[in-house]
Structure 1
Amino acid sequence: MRNIWIVLGAIFLIIGLVIFGNQVVLMVKESLKYGIPTTDLLPLIALNMIRDIPLILSLSLFLAIILAVNKFYKDSEAIVMNSLGVGDKHFMVFIQPVVLPIFIFILLLTTLVVPWTKQQKSLIMSHSDATSEFAFIRQKEFQKFKGGDIVFYANKVKDGTEGIQQTMEEVFIYALANGEPIIILAKEAQKYTNLDTNSAYLRLKDGVRYHGFPGDTNKRILNFDLYDLQIVDGEQRQDNIVFAQTESKSMIDLLYSNDSKDTAEFQWRISQPLSIFILSFLGVLLGKASPRGGKNLGLLFGVAIFILYNNALMVAKSTLEHGEISAWIGLWWVHLLVFFIIVLLYGYRHEKLSTAWRFLLRKV
């Protein structure tokens, strides 16, 4: 147990530094891209870190069990204990005083803390959207919208009242419409939101629109007084809002809801701590090795299984959200499948499967 705690702390520190550092970089890029205020940046980074703790802690514990049990066998201590009748099933019980506190901690995180963090993040992002709805366009800087399909440049940007309304002058836009390049030059532009569709537009004034590049044989030129260009899709924005509302609901609301998305979110929150117990049993089996065997093989298998396990849970969650499977099947089939693999591996290691097979053949 002491070895597991020590290795767990070391692995959590290493993985945490990598992931949390990546979160800081991504949030800074996102703040520059969408104009998130600096005062909201640090809270968003902290909330994202809390959100990722259950996954990092689960992986760290799983790898720590594999390494601790592997060291137990490498030092031949487990070999001696095996000869005294203490085997894998006993080791699975011995590590539970480490697994149980982490299970309770992750359960509290996934059911109480993480939904609260997602709710707070949604409030901060909503506040940022409200305050910077017309304030994320910057002067003399090329900016991309719609995944790079639209490139925008304004030579002058004038803020209106409290920075909410902006007027852009000497505007250049490159866009793709049905795969065809469009270049737009306008003297003035303003950004506004259609309240019915929740889509964001640029209203361009006194400009020229070129279909095709200069020099192309098939080129069209259009002069306009007013021209509206969509830069944010309202349907996609609404989907993100609905998704955030589901993630921030309480466990009681999710339990009594008949919506498939709520059911998937409820099972997902339970699945993360439940996987801790299942992976702890598997970790003991993967950590078992001979003194002369390779010490990293079980670790490599462990990382691969952890990735496949979590990906299968996410696929099952997505399938349940779309109503393609029953809630009774939901995410539970993934846990049952992994547990069945553990039983097969345990039976193979202890030759119980071959014994049962020979017994069935004799009966036949």
Structure 2
Amino acid sequence: MKLPPIVIRTFKLQNSILARYLMRNVSVLLSVVFIVISLVVFGNQLVLIIKETSKEGIPIADLLPLVGLNMIRDVVLILSLSLLLAIILSVSKLYKASEAIVMNSLGLGDKHFMVFIQPLVIVIVIFIFILTTVVVPWSKQQRGLIMERSENTPEFSFIKKNEFQEFKNNDIVFYASKVSDADNAKEQNMEEIFIYTLVNNEPVITLAKQAQKYTNFNTNSVYLRLKNGTRYHGFPSNKNKKILNFKLYDLQIIDGKMQKSISTVTKVESKSTFELLFSNKLTEIAEFQWRISQPLSILILSVLGVLLGKTSPRSGKNLGVLVGVVMFIVYNNVLLIAKSTLERGESSPIVGLWWVHLVMLLLIFIFYKWN
């Protein structure tokens, strides 16, 4: 029996209104959940990065860029989890308010809910795809450059006055009573210097009235030029102690040959997706599949979210959310395990990470039939 045109138009209008209603709920919850998770994750990261900058001697000027780059890196997982939770909560809300029951009576079920939210899901998938294939590799490259620049920056750029500080893995103990606040660390001047080092397992103490850091541009080595001081080889109680007075003494603090080139960032994670596409190396194939897997997992998780949101008014309120979080963690961890397995050559690139998605789809299909 063919339905009258007015009935068909009414049904389509209802679907359109319901689709917008469901997408609006998902969008609002997505924003709220994303903000909450981001505040927790990024707040914790900010504390960790501040500790790292003070420990590793990273300049304060690089603090905000590092925080921003870490945020870009983590947005993918946070947004994926937020979308899953938003879908679960939105669909669950429909069932709790018995709205879904009315929709079911109109012939609208889980499959329709999955279709209703697809415009929003597709937008997020495209956004995640751009992030994982372009923005995140760029952010990792920039982060690598900042960290490498910090490692190659002379440690004595971060001298604090009136504090004993350790450098070169505790091989040098340094103290200066006065330190200039010059904008250029290469021209930094210091006064009343104390340096403790080990030379051939023998303690060497150096005292100097003044010191200035400079770079030998021929060798790219960095020196501390000490003026008007004394070097003590061995402790005063040692019979073989030596005392050397000097007017000028150059102490090498950074070996130019040992410094890494800032321009050579070769980590797989920072390579462009186009490079990885035509690579035959297992590590690069694994990285490429990982980048594609993240937007693909959004599509799969959106279907799972609808099924987990289906509940009865008398069931547990947070059961779907709890199961969703567990499934999300397991899904991503298994993807990471599959990536590591591929990198070690223990699985075929054809199988790669794709089997994880297939297994997830199979589980969702079983869950759908069981529901």
Q: State the identity as a percent.
A: 55
SS in 1 for 2:267: helix
Rounded to whole Å, the distance in 2 between the matches of 1:224 and 1:4 is: 77
Checking the alignment, whether the CA contact within 8 Å between 1:140 and 1:154 is kept in structure 2 is: no
Deviation at 1:126, TM superposition (A): 2.9
In structure 2, relative to structure 1, the CA distance for the partners of 1:79 and 1:40 (3 Å cut) is same
Checking the alignment, whether the CA contact within 8 Å between 1:110 and 1:269 is kept in structure 2 is: yes
Where do 5+ consecutive residues of structure 1 fail to align? Answer: 175-181, 192-204, 210-221, 226-230, 350-364
- Report the equivalent of 1:346: 368
Rounded to whole Å, the distance in 1 between the matches of 2:43 and 2:291 is: 25
Residues 1:307 and 2:360 are matched in the alignment: no
- Name which of 124, 130, 143 aligns with 1:102: 124
Rounded to whole Å, the distance in 1 between the matches of 2:197 and 2:368 is: 63
Deviation at 1:336, TM superposition (A): 1.4
In structure 2, relative to structure 1, the CA distance for the partners of 1:6 and 1:188 (3 Å cut) is same
- Report the equivalent of 1:68: 90
- Report the equivalent of 1:8: 30
- Name which of 89, 110, 114 aligns with 2:111: 89
Deviation at 1:335, TM superposition (A): 1.3
- Report the equivalent of 1:22: 44
TM-score under structure 1 length normalisation: 0.73
SS in 2 for 1:326: coil
One-letter amino acid of the counterpart of residue 83, structure 1: S
SS in 2 for 1:154: strand
- Report the equivalent of 1:281: 303
Between stretches 134-143 and 333-342, larger displacement belongs to 134-143
- Report the equivalent of 1:155: 175
One-letter amino acid of the counterpart of residue 274, structure 1: L
Checking the alignment, whether the CA contact within 8 Å between 1:172 and 1:183 is kept in structure 2 is: no
- Report the equivalent of 1:255: 277
- Name which of 241, 265, 272 aligns with 2:287: 265
In structure 2, relative to structure 1, the CA distance for the partners of 1:170 and 1:143 (3 Å cut) is closer
- Report the equivalent of 1:117: 139
Checking the alignment, whether the CA contact within 8 Å between 1:70 and 1:287 is kept in structure 2 is: yes
Checking the alignment, whether the CA contact within 8 Å between 1:135 and 1:165 is kept in structure 2 is: no
- Report the equivalent of 1:178: none
- Report the equivalent of 1:53: 75
Checking the alignment, whether the CA contact within 8 Å between 1:139 and 1:153 is kept in structure 2 is: no
- Name which of 73, 79, 89 aligns with 2:101: 79
Rounded to whole Å, the distance in 1 between the matches of 2:359 and 2:146 is: 40
In structure 2, relative to structure 1, the CA distance for the partners of 1:108 and 1:154 (3 Å cut) is same
Rounded to whole Å, the distance in 2 between the matches of 1:56 and 1:7 is: 14
Deviation at 1:187, TM superposition (A): 3.9
* RMSD of equivalent CA atoms: 4.2
- Name which of 293, 306, 315 aligns with 2:315: 293
Larger Cα-atom Rg: 2
- In the TM superposition, what whole-angstrom CA distance separates every residue of 1:14-50 from its partner, at most 9, and x where no partner exists? 1111112122222222211122222222222111111
SS in 2 for 1:335: helix
Deviation at 1:57, TM superposition (A): 0.6
- In the TM superposition, what whole-angstrom CA distance separates every residue of 1:70-114 from its partner, at most 9, and x where no partner exists? 001111111222233322122111111110100001101111111
- Report the equivalent of 1:354: none
In structure 2, relative to structure 1, the CA distance for the partners of 1:290 and 1:208 (3 Å cut) is farther
Rounded to whole Å, the distance in 1 between the matches of 2:167 and 2:322 is: 40
Rounded to whole Å, the distance in 2 between the matches of 1:183 and 1:327 is: 55
In structure 2, relative to structure 1, the CA distance for the partners of 1:244 and 1:23 (3 Å cut) is farther
